[in-house]
Structure 1
């Protein structure tokens, strides 16, 4: 339950960032924004958690770097796709990681899922569609975003396999370093431009320290305690929180699609979190060793 609450808090923070991102990327290039954001997060995590990083084995370091590489490339693909399609379609396509996660878990690691979890996946997908879609055309931007969703799903599945509570801090810090490296490469050859004003700096620091470093730390720790598919379903509450903040701040009106979509996503989370507890699966389905 504590791991689930941690993931919910993390997605609430992510949901709060949509308004900030919309404002900042209007004043600085997307690649520059991502590079500065994740570089600040990486430096902060290395300064705070140098000892846990130093204690990691070569295998653990390699796994963390690979996870960060997956996440960093996914961030870039999602952002490039967002330039070509509507934000609502981007939100739905990105949220398809909730479908890709159980599929990849089954294909790569032979994970078996109960019917109630598949039902939760379907409910979450339907909720995302109601929250996000106002028409859907499959073009290059959609394919880029679906590729990003697949990489997010692969990150979730692999993190669920490799993360252990005692390694979570070091693994989160090394992942952040790899993400920063990927985003810095995307700004080549000129390198990243710094935020243009105080307001942009505030948004970047919040995104770096709270929604970046803090969220990665919480996700890495939480996924040491939760199966990957359940974690993915809990994280689909991100657009629900985004809608709540958008309504509260006056950016969007409250409509039936928002209410129905949010209710479906929350129902999916309830099934994914409480359903499996009625009949505990065998231990190997919860912690599959690689």
Structure 2
């Protein structure tokens, strides 16, 4: 199996983990404020990966410099913006609309890739983005399509997630994976902590009746290790073997996995419209996998 195919599988697994843990996070946030929860979640993940770095990959610390620090800051900033504005937007808009608007990062990634790095996506990827966007619409958007301030906040969230994918593609080839991952999630911890201090009742974390809730402890353990530490390490490492546009298409499967998990765990039914939307997203991924026409023509010419 070549590295590109392996990267696709691993990134799809990351999307599955994020989608499958959505129900867990949603439940935990009913006990802890969102920024406070994210601060603890990313703090645990930082401690886990930092310990791994110090114990088994200390040689990466020799490559620490201003450039990798800046790269970690940029990735952490965009990632925090994604999480923060999604949370803020959910106060004013519905989860279905938020899911669709967040999914628009699939459209924004090829746009930013072209505008920032002048990299044109192949036609199959563009068509795949169109299919995935249509699928996201059918899967998540409710009948009420009127816009409000919450939708604007979630759009900023989509910008953050899209730029995180774009810049991960840029930096992942130049810096040690573990060191870069530790830096970016450290900055998310810092930014989330500042937001919690300024905007939330963060002192609730010192109430044992809240923090020691089984749902909260399980959510923190699963999300910090699997959905944060390992997931972002995997993205940072494997995205170097594929394009940012392709990564965005794979991550468009997250709401599909979330819907499936909700069906299994909460017995939430998936409508025919939602099923068709999921199928369109999957079709968009498959279409993006097809070899380009130019490559086919080149291969045919060589064969002749």
- After TM superposition, is the score higher than 0.5? yes
* Greater Cα radius of gyration, structure 1 or 2: 2
Q: Alignment partner for residue 63 of structure 1, among 62, 71, 87?
A: 71
Residue 251 of structure 1 pairs with residue 267 of structure 2: yes
- Equivalent positions of 1:113-128 (< 5 A) are 113-128=121-136
Structure 1 pair 53/139, CA: closer, same or farther in 2 (3 Å)? Answer: farther
1:142 and 2:151 are equivalent in the alignment: yes
Q: Distance in 2 between matches of 1:136 and 1:216?
A: 33
Root-mean-square deviation (Å): 1.8
* Residue 241 (str. 1) matches residue 241 (str. 2): no
**Structure 2 residue 218 is the aligned partner of structure 1 residue 202:** yes
TM-superposed deviation, 1:179: 0.7
Distance 1:174 1:137, change over 3 A: same
Mark the runs of 5 or more structure 2 residues left unpaired by the alignment: 206-210, 297-304
* C-alpha distance in 2 between matches for 1:55 and 1:114: 35
**Distance in 2 separating the partners of 1:35 and 1:117:** 35
Give the TM-score normalised by the residue count of structure 1. 0.91
Identify which of 93, 102, 119 aligns with 1:94: 102
Could you tell me which residue of structure 2 aligns to residue 283 of structure 1?
Answer: none
Q: Is the 8 A contact 2:35 2:192 kept in 1?
A: yes
Q: Deviations over 1:129-183 (max 9, x none)?
A: 0110112221111000001101111111111111128721211111110111110
Q: Secondary structure at the match of 1:249?
A: helix
The corresponding residue for 1:284 is none
Query: 1:223 and 2:227 equivalent?
Result: no
SS at match of 1:44: helix
- Verify: 1:133 aligned to 2:141, yes or no: yes
Could you tell me how far apart the structure 1 residues matched to 2:94 and 2:232 are? 27
Match in the other structure for 2:204:
193
1:49 corresponding residue in structure 2: 53
Q: Is the 8 A contact 1:32 1:192 kept in 2?
A: no
TM-score by length of 2: 0.87
C-alpha contact (below 8 Å) 1:165/1:224 kept by paired residues: no
Q: Is 1:14 equivalent to 2:18 in the alignment?
A: yes
Gaps of 5+ in 1: 281-290
Equivalences for 1:175-194 in 2 at 5 Å? 175-189=184-198, 191=202, 193-194=204-205
> Which among 75, 78, 82 is matched to residue 74 of structure 1?
82
How far 1:114 moved relative to its partner? 1.9
> Who is 1:157 aligned against?
166
Specify the alignment match of 1:35 in structure 2. Answer: 39
Deviation at 1:92, TM superposition (A): 0.4
| CA separation of 1:142 and 1:180: change in aligned 2, threshold 3 A | same
State the Cα distance separating 1:255 from its structure 2 match: 2.0
Q: How far off its partner does 1:188 sit?
A: 1.4
CA contact (8 A) 2:81 2:156 kept: no
Residues 200-246 of structure 1, C-alpha deviations (whole Å, 9 max, x = no match): 11111111111011110011012111110011011100011111111
Per-residue deviation, 1:68: 0.7
Higher mean displacement: 234-243 or 185-194? 185-194
Query: Within 1, Cα distance between the matches of 2:293 and 2:129?
Result: 17
